[in-house]
Amino acid sequence: MDGHVVLAEGLEKRYGEKRALDGFDLAVRPGAVHGLLGPNGAGKTTAVRILSTLLRLDAGRATVAGLDVARQPREVRTRIGLTGQYAAVDEILTGRQNLEMFGRLFHLGRKRARLRAAQLLRQFDLEAAADKGAGGYSGGMRRRLDLAASMILAPAVLFLDEPTTGLDPRGRGEVWQAVRQLVADGTTVLLTTQYLEEADKLASRITVIDQGRAIVDDTPDGLKNRVGGDRIEVVLRERDHVPYALQAVARVAHGEPEADMAELRVHAPVADRVGSLTEVARFLHEFGIPVEDIGLRRPSLDDVFLRLTGRRTEEEPTPDQAQDTKGAAA
């Protein structure tokens, strides 16, 4: 394993003539959250489904917890947990009954399953609805129940495929806290997400995937630095004022400022957040330049992909996206 609890080398998966994974590599060290970051159709879910033995690979090699996913799928399943993109709970059963059922399926026994279900209901703030049918739950509540079911046991590796889909900020925070607790208890988490913020909050390392290949693997800070880190933006009211804004931003920029003439927007990476904003605002005020907006922002997923791949994340769904959606729904 060479110190890695998840290791993928040259994974390939084809749907007809299209390649969902095209030589994908991944190395996840134990005892942490590793983020797999990419847009819809990039290959995230296909990779997770292969690593969790739900999908056969066409080429390459992968091991999870020291076990070969192609040759030892049953053994791999005893060491992992998985939460897919869509909640997979029984809507006829109550929340409590769902969790107790999963507990019995994991051979906890009746008493232990009941105790574990009660613990998870508290942890995910579902006690008030514990004895109501899951079919009456909101989307966010079903998502929390689904995540709780994947945590019945503390697996060696937990695959979370966009786990906060449909959750409000409070529910998302609860999921994040639960993930951190699992890692503290020794579980390694592979988290797929479209959101840089989520990966930044949870992951100690992030792999960016695009068109079925890993294009960069780095820490969250390293990834943000690759796309310029914090940026200052000035939106102007008049085109003639763009040169003044460029001059102001150049005084504080950590790199060359750029101008978007269509949006009358000047922006650049900066190292000193507050100091840079103050200096640019002072300069523009002294020269009497009115602005529509001025502020600081963190990199977004679009910033990452535009810088690393030269294109935006909005694109037509690929066969990966279509096939994975069908698989998750099933």
Residues 119 and 211 in one domain: yes
pLDDT digits (tens, 9 = 90+) for 7-47: 999 999 999 989 999 999 999 999 999 999 888 888 999 99
* CA-derived radius of gyration, the chain: 23
Residues 169 and 292 in one domain: no
Residues 194 and 47 in one domain: yes
CATH code at position 159? 3.40.50.300
Per-residue confidence (pLDDT) for residue 317, from 0 to 100: 41
- H/E element, 44: helix 44-51
Residues 218 and 238 in one domain: no
Per-residue confidence (pLDDT) for residue 127, from 0 to 100: 95
pTM recorded for the entire structure: 0.75
Residues 272 and 155 in one domain: no
Residues 160 and 259 in one domain: no
Q: Is 204 within a domain?
A: yes
Q: Is 25 within a domain?
A: yes
Q: Is 216 within a domain?
A: yes
What mean pLDDT do residues 127-149 have?
A: 90
Q: How far is CA 46 from CA 10, 49, 55, in A?
A: 14, 5, 8
Half-sphere CA count of 225, side-chain side, radius 13 A: 7
Q: Is 311 within a domain?
A: no
Q: Is 210 within a domain?
A: yes
CATH code at position 237? 3.30.70.100
Residues 151 and 254 in one domain: no
Residues 186 and 62 in one domain: yes
Residues 284 and 204 in one domain: no
Residues 110 and 22 in one domain: yes
Whole-number average pLDDT of the chain: 87
Q: Is 307 within a domain?
A: no
Domain count, the chain: 2
Per-residue confidence (pLDDT) for residue 319, from 0 to 100: 41
Hey, what amino acid is at 299? P
Q: Is 22 within a domain?
A: yes
Residues 195 and 110 in one domain: yes
Residues 102 and 248 in one domain: no
Q: Is 115 within a domain?
A: yes
Per-residue confidence (pLDDT) for residue 2, from 0 to 100: 63
The residue among 149, 147, 9 whose CA lies nearest residue 69 is: 9
Q: State the sign of the Cα–Cα–Cα–Cα dihedral 130, 132, 137, 143.
A: positive
Domain that holds residue 145: 6-224+317-329
> Residue 299 pLDDT > 80, yes or no?
no
Among the listed ranges 19-28, 76-85, 300-309, which one has the minimum average pLDDT value? 300-309
CA atoms of 86 and 162, how far apart (whole Å): 9
